[in-house]
Chain A
Amino acid sequence: MTSEKSSISPVQMALFIIQTQIGVGILSLPSKVHMIAKGGGWISVLISGIVVQVLIFIMWALMKRFPNSTVYEISSQIFGNFLGKVVNFAYTGYFITVGVFVMVSFSDVLNRWMLPKTPRWAVLVLMVVAGIYLARGNIRMMARYYVLTSFLILLLILLVTYGFVDVDFTLMFPIQEAGWGNIVKASKDTFTAMYGFEMLLLIYPFVEGKSRGKLKAAFFANLFVTLSYTFTVFICLIAFNPEQLRLISEPVLYLIRRYQLYMVHRPDLIFINIWATTIIVTAASYYYAAATGLASLFGSRNHSKWVPYAVLCCFVVSLIPQTSSGMVKLSKFVDIAAYVFLHGLPLMLLVLSYLLKKKERGTA
């Protein structure tokens, strides 16, 4: 399974996860979190980061028992052929749904901030083409590209850091205005922005090195994402007052629109374009995941043939929800699905694998 051509290093894996995690959620995260947790929003982000760490640990424990299989192969090993196929079908569906969610939210932001008259399909066509091209390559190519584009994330963080020019620290007090209950509750919303670590289920067998190194890499990836999210949310909380956060849906972009960078009067336009790159990369991860799912459903070993089908699926579905209520429904659906596929199933697989004492036999 793991030929030399398709193995990646733990660092590449970490960046793979980081790139997939940093996605559409971050722009609206400060507003969402503030609505429930008020000034303590940044704590909610930290909490959900910890929850994700736990989930990563569960996934790792599962993958460690099957070091040469992806989640699709594991499920058919545990559930048997037929039930495994059903589970795989569900997982594929989940990845497609998340892909759709990413695409819809992306085109939504782009339509509002940069290209108000460009129809959604036209915005998404570029994303789809880039996504297909990226996801078709083997995992090592993808990882290489992810490492390359991770420089852009640093650039994004730098642009956000500029937001410090005009802040008021009193805005973050009182921290427990909403109460600890709400702070914990708000971490549920943050969780939406954290999707992406489930890539561990798919790329784990391709990673070189010992399992502890892989765990460390995944932990580090999530730590990085959590900290940069916390940082962003924190800056937004002290840069905007509560009423403002209630009013605007993408505080991060408003934050960057506030200042002028030397010759650039609208740094938000630059930000959106850099961010678009990371979103396309995120989408490509889900295309890859879905395509691998399709490949395993149809018993094919090569995922790249299935990428266009998976992407086409996403593309067609993403043109359906036109209204904002449709968007809300979609995001709720994704949330519920995430509970099943990120919390429930991996844990269930892990428990079952212990109960049934199923474990991959010592292969190379």
Chain B
Amino acid sequence: MFQKFFQRKRRGGDRDGVPCRSASHHLEKNVSYIEQALFPSDDVKKRALSFQGRKGILLYIESLTDQKVIQKNIIEPLTRNHSDELDHLFTSVELKRENDLEKGIAALLKGMCLYFLDGHKDFLVIGAKASYVRDISEPENEYVVRGPHNGFVEDLTHNLYAVRKLMESPNLRVRYMHIGRVTQTKVAILYLQDVANPRLIKEVERRLKDISADMLMSPGFIQEFMEDKTFSPFPQILITERPDRTVSNLMDGRVAIMADGDPTALIVPVTLFAFYQSVDDYHSRWMVGSFVRMIRLLSFLVAFQLPAFYIATVSFHPEILPVDLVFRLQGSISHVPFPPLLEVIFLELIFELLRESGIRLPSRVGQTIGIVGGLVIGDAIVRTGLVSYPTTIVVALTAIASFVVPSNEMSGAVRFLRFPLMFFAAMYGYYGISFGLMMISMHLCKLESFGTPYLAPLAPLRLKDMKDTFLRFPIWTLSQRPHDPHPKRMTQETVSRSWKRRDQRKK
């Protein structure tokens, strides 16, 4: 409580540019203050460099700075000791004197180096930002229409840079770990100190530490080592390649896990609905965003229920359909030699085959596969009377619906689930579907991801969080964080539109 109060106050001071804490004469005090503020981020580095016999310390964040620049512009001049005056010594472009430690921290987070000299009341801020020139492309399976188009790359330092860039907060903590007895893969845990629940962080660390495999190939390995239940088709960890998605999840109080050599961030804990939220929802207008999200959630239902419903209707309860539709259907399916179940499974498997072969091939060959599969096989199979038109439509619809979800793992889960459902539908009709849906929903209720109910905020029901589940309310109404990761602070927005109230008052 006390600590929270202090932290908020410090943040407030930071924002308004009012100096909060001026540096002292003592070198150690200054350095330890900054280290305290960033504690325990392991990527904060310090190096002792003396100047004219006086003790001095250089501070920088490794992931944000360019080592070569530091060496050339800071360390070399210091060791050669050309000038008497400190200000003229460094050959860096950006150079400033500061005596507010808070500003120093902010500068540090921007990729500057800080140089403290014992006995001086101020310190130097020297620019040494890292500038990576590696190609940053938009993640292929998480395209957005609007919003940032950058993605993670294989280099961990760079990924951390991307996150830090979006969130210049001293409360962002990065913890390194080396996992894999042979590979010694560098894994970073990211979280917001003042928001994320300490119990969650402890739990993540505990599970990561427990991994004792020779090799760690993220993200699949980490996921299966850490997940609550592996005997489940549903992914309990969100995998994303987008820095903005990662940052917004960090802001909710979740924890991100990134490994070197892998362009993804694993985010825990997640709920089912997180998989159906796209960054796009927040970039478009809220009504449109809500509408699109509803369609996406509808696709979730369609994707695994439609074939089952089709089978149950056609082979158990055709009386439920209106007369015109019945005869239309009957005309198209009566010449098919297989029972509906076989027909649907047959076509679904062909579809899965096409999809799988399409992924592994270069895009041009992939297109050919699409044409051969979609047009040639699709048309021929109906014309020879092996499969009926309605079945083709059903399978095509489910295929489309299963790809709407902006997460590959979830899409896989949904595609897998329709098979058991189809079997039950073919045995018991609608009753079988009821049963299948019950089992799935019970399973979802039982699932937990790092202590968070998977179906939150639907079960357990929490109406307040519904604002950003099925619909996306305007952002200024979302003044509270979602409850499911149990964040330390709930408020994430106060009155951003107070200008409107002021306008009204004037009138």
Contact = CB atoms under 8 A, between A and B. Distances in A.
Q: Count chain B CB atoms within 10 A of each CB in A127, A130, A137 and give the residue with the most.
A: A130
A266 interface: yes
Contact of B455 (A127, A144, A263, A274): A144
Contacts of B420: none
A269 B430 contact: yes
Interface string A123-149: 100110110011001000101110111
Given A265-B322, A269-B320, A126 B446 contact: no
B459 A145 contact: yes
Interface stretch (B227-235, B377-385, B435-443): B435-443
Given A137-B446, A144-B455, A265 B321 contact: yes
Nearest to B460: A144
A317 interface: no
B445 A145 contact: yes
Given A141-B445, A145-B441, A126 B431 contact: yes
Contacts of A264: 320
Given A130-B435, A277-B434, A144 B459 contact: yes
B431 A276 contact: yes
Given A144-B453, A265-B320, A280-B438, A273 B445 contact: no
Contacts of B435: 126-127, 129-130, 280
Interface string A1-36: 000000001011000000000000000000000000
Given A265-B319, A277-B438, A148 B455 contact: yes
Interface in B452-467: 453, 455, 458-461
Contacts of B320: 264-266, 269-270
Contacts of B319: 265-266, 269
Contact of A115 (B323, B431, B439): B431
B438 A144 contact: no
A69 to B, nearest CB: 25
Nearest to A274: B434
A137 to B, nearest CB: 6
Contacts of A144: 445, 453, 455, 459-460
B307 interface: no
Contacts of A272: 430-431
Contacts of B302: none
Contacts of A269: 317, 319-320, 430
Main secondary structure of the interface of B (DSSP, over half): helix
B306 to A, nearest CB: 15
A114 B437 CA distance: 18
A302 interface: no
Contacts of B442: 130, 133-134, 137, 145
A359 B317 CA distance: 57
Nearest to A110: B431
A276 B445 CA distance: 19
A300 interface: no
B432 A126 contact: yes
Contacts of A270: 320, 430
A273 B433 contact: yes
B460 A114 contact: no
A118 interface: yes
A51 B435 CA distance: 35
Nearest to A140: B460
B428 interface: yes
Contacts of B443: 133
A130 B317 contact: no
A148 B445 contact: yes
Contact of B430 (A129, A145, A273): A273
Interface string B411-429: 0000000000000100011
B197 to A, nearest CB: 15
Interface residues of A, number: 36
A266 to B, nearest CB: 5
A273 B434 contact: yes
A114 B431 contact: yes
Nearest to B436: A126
Contacts of A277: 434, 437-438
Nearest to A12: B460
A102 to B, nearest CB: 15
Contacts of B459: 144-145, 147-148
Contact of B322 (A114, A134, A263, A273): A263
A195 B430 CA distance: 27
B470 to A, nearest CB: 12
Given A126-B428, A273-B430, A277-B434, A266 B317 contact: yes
Contacts of B434: 273-274, 276-277
Contacts of B428: 115, 118, 122-123, 126
Contacts of A263: 321-322, 325
A264 B322 CA distance: 7
A264 B319 CA distance: 9
Interface string A269-300: 11011101100100000000000000000000
A88 B323 CA distance: 56
Given A130-B438, A265-B319, A277-B438, A114 B445 contact: no
Q: Count chain A CB atoms within 10 A of each CB in B323, B437, B446 and give the residue with the most.
A: B446
A10 to B, nearest CB: 13
Q: Count chain A CB atoms within 10 A of each CB in B424, B441, B459 and give the residue with the most.
A: B459
A133 B441 contact: no
Given A126-B435, A266-B317, A148 B458 contact: yes
A276 B435 CA distance: 9
B462 to A, nearest CB: 10
A217 to B, nearest CB: 14
A107 B431 CA distance: 11
B445 A115 contact: no
Q: Count chain B CB atoms within 10 A of each CB in A114, A123, A143 and give the residue with the most.
A: A114
Nearest to A276: B434
Contacts of A265: 319-323
* 8 A-B pairs with least C-beta separation: A148-B459, A144-B459, A126-B435, A145-B445, A273-B434, A266-B320, A144-B445, A273-B430
Given A144-B459, A277-B438, 20 more contacts: A110-B431, A114-B317, A126-B424, A130-B442, A133-B439, A144-B453, A145-B441, A145-B459, A148-B441, A148-B458, A263-B321, A263-B325, A265-B322, A265-B323, A269-B320, A270-B430, A273-B431, A274-B434, A276-B431, A277-B437
12 contacts: A9-B460, A114-B430, A126-B424, A126-B431, A126-B432, A130-B435, A133-B443, A141-B446, A148-B459, A149-B441, A272-B430, A277-B438
